[in-house]
Chain A
Amino acid sequence: MNQLTELTIAELSDGFGKKKFSPSEVTKAYIENMAAHREYNAYITETPEEALSAAAEADSRAAGGRRLGKLDGVPLGIKDLFCTKNIRTTAASHILENFIPPYESTVTKKLLDAGAVFLGKTNLDEFAMGGANITSYFGHTVNPNRRKTDNAEVITGGSSGGSAAAVAGKLCAGATGTDTGGSIRQPSSYCGIVGMKPTYGRCSRFGIIAYASSLDQAGPMTRTVEDAAIMLGYMAGFDEKDSTSADTAVPDFTAALNKGVKGMTIGLPKELMEEELNGEISLAWKEGREILEKAGAKFTEISLPNMKYALATYYIIAPAEASSNLARYDGVRFGLRVDGKTLDEMYELTRSAGFGDEVKRRIMIGTYVLSAGYYDAYYLKALEVQKLIRRDYTEAFKTVDAILTPTAPTTAFTVEESKAFDPVTMYLQDAFTVPVNLAGLPGISVPVKTASDGLPIGLHLVGRHFDEETLFSAASVLERR
């Protein structure tokens, strides 16, 4: 095992600065790891040449003492949902299999401007629709952690499964993810890494292939809380090209890392405490509470009475937006085209061949809930429930500074198990994360322990709008145990 790929972003930055090693050396080490672990199927497209040339530039900046900042020369994986200029961007879909964007997403541009080195584009569920990374046209990803009991291959979770596997498997120092209902936090929990979904509007969505525009948000996936704070600092910020991005100052997130939790009040949703949870998950939740208590946090019970409607609400709003967002993949201007005798036939053949089952399912659900006669009963009702969910959180945050729950109801499944799941069982994996997206709040998943089967368990902290700092403070405490 190569020592260099074991280092965190913070350690890499320190080493680059002190000229202990160069960005090129680190990049080469990662490229070797990527080649050695293709079985994770973490990357859809690897870009070693581009990475080495970017690393060489970072080398000369480091050598000349002109480093651009902590990310300069740091090798990252980029979820293949971010458009990258002149580099194939697929959304893990057949329909975009050969799509090469002539533009760069705002988030990746910011990272490039900070000197980051992109190793390639990571695997995901097709169009970010899925919770196990098994809907990718390019095949499922494999969790670098195995189940101890039977050495079975387990899933990474999703949709940012490729990024999670790449970070956990040392195939990059950090990665970008996107989170619409849990797509950063749930795979982070399954793979044993840190995943932060910032407040909606914190990072620009410009150039990120849309799934559900009102819920999609980019965020960092890293090995430590500190790395997440570093990366988010470079990813966040107002963008005039995204009308939903927030014109709010970006604080120095790393400053929050050592603040501790003394005086902090953390809420526990009573609805979840009354539920019969998986024993090991429940235990991890309790241990997490004890760690924070010991560090000086106070705990109190809160109520989120409408949380139980969150999944149903999500599976109306997200597909509704998706059904419209994915209408542009029609074979006319870019992407896959299957010719037909008429325009309508071309649409049918192209979209039938281009989209996988889960994407088709969500397009159909979304089309249905927006249709005349159903709009009021489904879509409009869902928007009303969403307001109630937001109100629950607003009420709760009058008394608490953060909310602690498990990230997911279980540890990762085996690939075989997940293939046998019906869609609803799959959707239930996001029960704890989805309400946070509906409320637009920031959330972070931190690994706290491994279960008896050796698989990681993550805990989930949720904060007020634009208060990622409190989450970084509390998550650092949890991380240090």
Chain B
Amino acid sequence: MKYVIKGNKHEWEVVIGLEVHCQVISNAKLFSDASAASGGTPNDTVSFIDAGFPGMLPVVNEFCVEQAVKTGLGLNAEINRKSVFARKNYFYADLPQGYQISQYDKPIVGNGYLDIELEDGSAKRIGIERLHLEQDAGKSVHDLLPGKSCIDLNRSGVALMEIVSKPEMSSPYEAGAYMTKMRSIVRWLGTCDGNMDEGSMRCDANVSVRPVGSSELRTRCEVKNVNSIRYLMQAIEYEARRHVDVYENGGSIEQETRLFNPAAKETRTMRGKENANDYRYFPDPDLSFPLTVTEELIERIKSEMPELPDERAARFIKEYGLPKDDAARLVSEMASADYFEKAAQVKGADARKTANLMLVELAAMLTDRKISIENVEIKPEWLGRLTALVEDGTIGLRTAKDLIIMMEDTRRDPDSLIEEKGLRQVSDTAAIEKIIDGIIEANPSEAEGYRAGKEKLMGFFVGQVMKATGGKANPGIINKLLKEKLSK
């Protein structure tokens, strides 16, 4: 299912590469011991290093280096034993040192990849070119005081990972899937919270088009700071279409940086190539270089790596016999995968049915109440127990559904609720028989009708029995007994 833009003259395909910026989860900044926490009073978490004061020197935060290595391993990438921090020089009011410490020709992480799933369920491998560490700049606020700009340096010096893909995506969907997967991996690893609304994960897209079948790489445009996956897909769609229109009208695309406007769903020029900065990169002489990553460190991080989403989904399929879709949905977040596994451990809880109960009934309640799996009151053990109780016939599926709501509201386990509310399903054949006899006796004409061939009347009798038993009678037993009695 190839993504093709039909022009008047040609059919075009899209070439997309993504640069993803991830804020590293770390207590302190990349080169200072100031807090990296976001929010708070402006200029509250700024050390003299972050403010670029005279004589101040950066010192690498080893934890941030470990986070980068961990992310690199999660992306199946080469870890460069030696890398170099370089200064990227440019002037801006919220860039205190007059340069950003970044990595240029020697990044900490080299070639890697991640696998995405396409619309038709097939997999595609997207290459990753590099991951490097760099410090964030501060924030300029232009609308707080009339005629003045305000600078907040709280973000200044916060560690970022820039992850650059190869230009190997060919549709907005693939770009969206790549971001979704990247987000899941970094969240899973605990190296970035993946929060796109708050900007702790940002993305720039490099987009170009070419006639279908061609292998050329035409001039690309960089679309900056797209802050949701939906916007990313819209921005690429617009930008690719724009390229096609320009080419088909005999024009040419200039290499430039563009900004996406979500309201208008279009991109516009931010700066052209002629205004591109000459960043004068050179190795930062304040940091002893190269930055060395030892084998011991890599081995230690490897041993601490959690099972990643793909591996875990595969295990869920193999170990628990889950359908592929269910496994994929469960591993979308580490918390839901953990929840499922705990629930499925409960004695008597069938794993497939547990997954189903979780993904249908529990998920419906969560969506309805807008709460996340991390904040749900129902313990995974209770959900597992619920599955077991359905399985052994103690309750019916309808009661189970009701119990999910009750457990959430009361924070109590299913057994005590069943006991207290008398929700146990009646499976005592003698008791049900007695009730059925009474109903048949009370409704002779309906019984007559059924016997004469009006089989639809069976539903009427089942309803009557359920009503008489308060919904607690085992439906299988009711059906079986009714058929026996009515055919006499």
Do A and B interact?
A: yes
Report B439-461 CB contacts with A as 1/0, cut-off 8 Å: 00000000000000000000000
The distance from the CB of B102 to the nearest CB of chain A, in whole angstroms, is 13
Known: A207-B55, A347-B91. A321 touches B285 (CB 8 A): yes
Chain B residues near A213 (CB, 8 Å)? 285-286
A327 near B278 with CB under 8 A, answer no
0/1 string, A207-241, CB within 8 A of B gives 1: 11110111000000000000000000000000011
**In B136-161, which residues have CB < 8 Å from any A CB?**
149, 151
B59 in contact (CB, < 8 A): yes
**Which stretch of B46-54, B166-174, B230-238 is in the interface?**
B46-54
Which residues of the other chain, A, contact B99 by a CB distance below 8 angstroms? 324, 327
B:252-287 near A, CB below 8 Å: 278, 280-282, 285-287
Count of inter-chain pairs, beta carbons less than 8 A: 101
Main secondary structure of the interface of B (DSSP, over half): loop
- Chain B, 37-59, CB within 8 A of any chain A CB: 48, 51-59
Any A CB within 8 A of the CB of B97: yes
Confirm or deny: A299 has a beta carbon within 8 angstroms of a beta carbon on chain B: no
Contact of A334 among B53, B87, B92, B281 (CB under 8 A): B53
CB <8 Å contact, A332 and B282: no
The answer to whether A212 and B285 have CB atoms under 8 Å apart is yes
- Chain A residues with Cβ under 8 A from B149's Cβ? 343
Q: Within the assembled complex, what's the spacing in Å between the Cα atoms of A205 and B288?
A: 13
Q: Does B418 contact A (CB under 8 A)?
A: no
Cα–Cα, bound, A83→B55 (Å): 7
With A324-B98, A327-B98 already in contact, the answer to whether A209 and B54 are too (CB < 8 A) is: yes
Q: Is the CB of A324 within 8 A of B93?
A: no
Q: Using known A-B contacts A328-B54, A343-B93, determine if residue A370 contacts B282 with beta carbons closer than 8 Å.
A: yes
- Let me know if A379 and B287 touch, CB within 8 A: no
Residues of A within 8 A of B53 (CB): 101, 103, 328, 333-334
Nearest-neighbor residue (CB-CB) of A201 within chain B: B288
* Chain A residue contacts of B196, Cβ below 8 A: none
Does B466 sit within 8 A of A, measured CB to CB?
no
Question: Which residues of chain B are within 8 angstroms of A320 by Cβ–Cβ distance?
Answer: 282
Query: Is B96 part of the contact surface with A, judged by Cβ < 8 Å?
Result: yes
> Closest residue of chain A to B89, judged by CB?
A324
Bound CA span A105–B287, Å: 18
Q: Are A243 and B286 in contact (CB under 8 A)?
A: yes
Chain B residues, Cβ within 8 Å of A343: 92-93, 149
Docked-complex contact B96 and A244, CB < 8 angstroms? no
Asked if B60 is an interface residue, CB under 8 A from chain A, the answer is: yes
Task: List chain B residues, Cβ under 8 A from A323.
Answer: 89, 280
Interface centre among B52, B55, B282, B287 (most CB of A within 10 A): B55
Min CB–CB distance A218 → chain B (angstroms): 11
Question: Which listed residue, B54, B97, B280, B285, touches A214 by the CB 8 Å rule?
Answer: B285
Out of B48, B56, B93, B288, which one reaches A244, CB within 8 Å? B288
Distance in angstroms from B144 CB to nearest chain A CB is 16
Q: How far is the CA of A105 from the CA of B53 in the complex (A)?
A: 12
Contact partners of A327 in chain B: CB under 8 A = 89, 91, 97-99
A330 contacts B288, CB within 8 Å? no
Q: Chain A nearest CB: distance from B374 CB in Å?
A: 38
- Please name all residues of chain B whose beta carbon is closer than 8 Å to the beta carbon of A96 when the two chains form the complex: 54
- Checking A242, A332, A334, A371 against B151 with a beta-carbon cut-off of 8 angstroms, the contacting residue is A332
Complex: A478 Cα to B446 Cα, angstroms: 128
Give chain B nearest CB distance to A376 CB in angstroms: 12
- Complex CA–CA separation, A101 to B56 (angstroms): 11
With the chains together, A212 CA to B281 CA distance in Å?
A: 16
Given contacts A214-B285, A320-B282, contact A333 B96 (CB under 8 A): yes
Is A64 an interface position by the 8 A CB rule?
Answer: no
- Pairwise interchain contact B57-A324, C-beta atoms closer than 8 A: no
Asked if A397 CB lies within 8 Å of chain B CBs, one says: no
Contact A372 B285 (CB under 8 A): no
Contact A372 B278, beta carbon cutoff 8 Å: yes
Cα–Cα, bound, A103→B93 (Å): 23
User: B48 to A102, Cβ gap below 8 A?
Assistant: yes
Report A323-340 CB contacts with B as 1/0, cut-off 8 Å.
110111010111000000
Task: Report how far A284 CA is from B335 CA in the complex, Å.
Answer: 79
Give the Cβ gap from A49 to chain B, nearest Cβ, in Å.
24
For residue A150, give the distance in angstroms from its CB to the closest CB of chain B.
Answer: 41
Residue of B52, B93, B280, B281 touching A328 (CB-CB under 8 A): B52
Determine whether the beta carbon of B59 is less than 8 Å from that of A241: yes
Chain B 48-75, CB-CB to A under 8 Å as 1, else 0, gives 1001111111111000000000000000
A379 in contact with B282 (CB, 8 Å) = yes
Write the nearest CB–CB distance from A93 to chain B, whole angstroms.
Answer: 10
Pick from A83, A244, A344: contact of B54, CB under 8 Å: A83
Docked CA distance A82–B278 (Å): 32
CB distance from A199 to the nearest CB of B (A): 14
Report the Cα distance A367→B52, complex, angstroms.
19
- Closest chain-A Cβ to B104's Cβ sits at a distance in Å of 11
**Measured CA separation A210–B97 after assembly (Å):** 12
Minimum CB–CB distance for B135 against chain A, Å: 14
- Please tell me if the beta carbons of A324 and B287 are within 8 angstroms of each other in the complex: no
- Note all chain B residues with C-beta closer than 8 A to A326: 98
Contact B57 A328 (CB under 8 A): no
Q: Are B52 and A333 in contact, with the CB atoms below 8 A?
A: yes
Min CB distance, A119 to chain B, in Å?
21
Residues of B with C-beta under 8 A to A101? 53-55
Cβ 8 A contact of B98, one of A89, A244, A328: A328
Chain B: CB-nearest residue to A81: B55
Which residues of B are found within 8 Å of A330, using beta-carbon distances? 91, 93, 98
Q: Which of A240-290 contact B (CB under 8 A)?
A: 240-244
Query: B96, A328: Cβ atoms under 8 Å?
Result: yes
Partner of B93, one of A89, A207, A332: A332
Residue pair A328, B59 in contact (C-beta under 8 Å)? no
- B-contacting residues, A190-209, CB 8 Å: 205-209
Contact of A103 among B48, B60, B98, B281 (CB under 8 A): B48
A91 and B55 CA atoms in complex are apart in Å by 11
In the complex, whether A99 has a CB less than 8 A from a CB of chain B is yes
> Least Cβ distance of B50 to chain A in Å?
11
Q: State whether B285 touches A371 (Cβ < 8 A).
A: no
Bound-state CA distance A321–B63 (Å) is 28
Cα(A326)–Cα(B54), bound, Å = 9
Flag if B97 contacts A244 (CB, 8 Å). no
Q: Are B55 and A206 in contact (CB under 8 A)?
A: yes
With both beta carbons as reference points, the residue of chain A lying nearest to B279 in the complex is identified as: A372
- Chain A residues within 8 Å of B285, by CB: 212-214, 244, 321
A370 to B52, CA, bound (A): 21
Closest approach, in angstroms, between the C-beta of A145 and any C-beta of chain B?
Answer: 32
Instruction: Give every chain A residue within 8 A of B286 (Cβ-Cβ).
Output: 210, 213, 243-244
Q: Complex Cα distance A375/B281, Å?
A: 9
A residues near B97, Cβ cutoff 8 Å:
327-328
Q: A203 to chain B: closest CB distance in Å?
A: 13
Given A324-B282, A328-B98, A332-B96, A370 contacting B89 (CB threshold 8 A): yes
- Complex CA distance for A193 and B278, rounded to whole angstroms: 45
Nearest-neighbor residue (CB-CB) of A344 within chain B: B91
Closest Cβ neighbor of A214 among chain B residues: B285
Residues from chain B with a CB closer than 8 A to the CB of A375 are 280, 282
Q: A244-B288, A328-B54 are in contact. Are A371 and B96 (CB under 8 A)?
A: no
B window 85-108: CB within 8 A of A: 87, 89, 91-93, 96-99
For residue A370, which residues in chain B have a CB less than 8 angstroms away from its CB? 89, 280-282
- CA distance in complex: A309, B280 (Å): 24
Complex Cα spacing A335 to B58, Å: 21
Closest 5 CB pairs of A and B: A327-B98, A214-B285, A370-B280, A213-B285, A328-B52
A-B contacts, 7 listed (Cβ < 8 Å): A91-B54, A208-B55, A210-B55, A243-B60, A243-B287, A327-B99, A372-B280
Known: A96-B54, A205-B55. 12 other contacts (CB 8 A): A83-B54, A99-B54, A206-B56, A209-B55, A210-B286, A213-B286, A241-B59, A243-B60, A328-B54, A328-B97, A332-B151, A333-B52
Q: Which residues in B have some Cβ–Cβ distance to A below 8 Å?
A: 48, 51-60, 87, 89, 91-93, 96-99, 149, 151, 278, 280-282, 285-288
